[in-house]
Amino acid sequence: MGKKILYISGSVGLGHVTRDLAVAKELRKQVPDVDISWMAAHPASQILKDAGEKLLPESDSWINYTAVAEKFAKGGSFNLITWLFRLRKDWESNVETFKKVLQDNQFDLIVGDETYEISIAIKKNPQIKNIPYAVIYDFIGMKAMSKNPLEILGVYLWNKKWVEGSKQEPFPIELTIFDGVPEDVPDKKLGFLLPNIRDFAKARCEFVGYIINATLEELQDHANIRGKLGYGPGPLVICSIGGTAIGKKLLELCVEAFPIVKEKIPDLKMLLVCGPRLDPRSLNVHQGIITRGYIPNLVEHFAACDLAIVQAGGTSTLELTALGRPFLYFPLEQHCEQQVHVAGRLARHKAGVKMSFSKTTPNSLADKILSNIGAKVNPEPIPVNGAQLAAEKIKRLLS
């Protein structure tokens, strides 16, 4: 009889479920009889259904953090720490759903992707689970993005609580996987009398390199992939906002910049990828702009483009880095993960051009498009076998 895994794809957007599917694919290669059941909220739940995965009915009760984030965000701004503190009651609901799933089913292992609420609950009460628990993160440590004393205090308390919760012996979380390398973790202290973030991560995490759900070797022939996808000749700009509707203003900015660029590049094509939560019909576009909703194989379209314009999603920016494509990225303002962790990683890899939404006009964006479209870029090579290594480490818990 095969081993049974409860896989919880948490957090916001599509980047997490994309890497989770990559890990699940590798797990099935390494443990052919493994049986994976999923918990997730929309849009991850829809992607899992479309992929033919088994979604537990309790997913309908899982709090949709993406929907909460969309209500909380303002234009191109999103304060991560304030949002996290507002989620605490929703976390309690998810923990109760988690407990019910464990009571009603028999699993051999739990895997959670940025399931902070589950990790905190298990640290408080290790008895709520009697099987191993593995969790995946791609950044560690909050940072205040303003001089607001309440935000500074909130960041400090969050970091302090996380450190204190990690001193338990025996530690109730059997495996913590970091989607990245040690250099992705800031080499500085978490706060007053708190440890160095990188040292803390090295002590608690297994680093696996980057988890990418694509065979990049098959995407290196730019002309071939363009032909396969039917784009034909002419420069192509892809504008994608990921799995939330937060980036609608960014897409509208791209629409305004399009005619300015087209004056210089008459055969320019632009694809707006609205994702699963923004209706493409809500955008008023010019002739020559294509709008689409969710694209399941978006990484292929990235490989075909001459320039991408994205938010600072951890997965999409890694895909573009690995593909060696030029791209502009707009980290959400006040979002410490995107502004500090993602931007720092991209700077180290010499990938992408960092932009500021509040400081960008249609004309300045048009200038950036013109100076970067089709540019030859040489980002630092990055390790992209993270899914395989993560699966190997998870597999050990099944033994």
- Structural domain total, the chain: 2
Residue pair 257/263 in contact by the 8 Å Cβ criterion: no
Same domain for 206 and 337? no
Q: Does any domain span residue 353?
A: yes
Same domain for 144 and 222? no
Same domain for 201 and 249? no
| Closest-CA residue to 237 (of 195, 265, 269) | 269
pTM of the predicted protein model: 0.95
Q: Does any domain span residue 116?
A: yes
Q: Does any domain span residue 127?
A: yes
Domain range for residue 137?
4-212+384-398
Residue pair 145/335 in contact by the 8 Å Cβ criterion: yes
Same domain for 226 and 190? no
**DSSP labels for 219-233?**
G--HHHHHHHHT--S
- The CATH number of whichever domain residue 226 belongs to comes to 3.40.50.2000
Same domain for 272 and 191? no
Q: Does any domain span residue 104?
A: yes
| Residues 6+ positions from 158 with CB-CB distance below 8 Å | 81, 84, 85, 142
Residue pair 23/387 in contact by the 8 Å Cβ criterion: yes
Same domain for 105 and 141? yes
| Residues 6+ positions from 82 with CB-CB distance below 8 Å | 72, 151, 154
pLDDT 10s per residue in the chain (399 long)?
Answer: 689 999 999 888 899 999 999 999 999 999 999 999 999 999 999 999 999 999 999 999 999 988 888 888 877 788 877 777 778 778 899 999 999 999 999 999 999 999 999 999 999 999 999 999 999 999 999 999 988 898 999 899 989 988 988 888 889 999 999 999 999 999 999 999 999 999 999 999 999 999 999 888 889 888 889 999 999 888 999 999 999 999 999 999 999 999 999 999 999 999 999 999 999 999 999 988 999 999 988 999 999 999 999 999 999 999 999 999 999 999 999 888 999 999 999 999 999 999 999 999 999 999 999 999 999 999 989 999 999 999 999 999 998
Q: Does any domain span residue 378?
A: no
Same domain for 360 and 389? no
Q: Does any domain span residue 377?
A: no
Same domain for 162 and 46? yes
Q: Does any domain span residue 379?
A: no
Same domain for 59 and 195? yes
| Residues 6+ positions from 276 with CB-CB distance below 8 Å | 14, 42, 43, 46, 47, 243, 293, 294
Q: Does any domain span residue 208?
A: yes
Report the distance separating Cα 65 and Cα 71, nearest Å: 10
Same domain for 164 and 91? yes
Same domain for 322 and 335? yes
Q: Which residues of 246-261 are buried (b: 16+ CB within 10 A; e: fewer)?
A: bbbebbbbbbebbebb
Same domain for 175 and 225? no
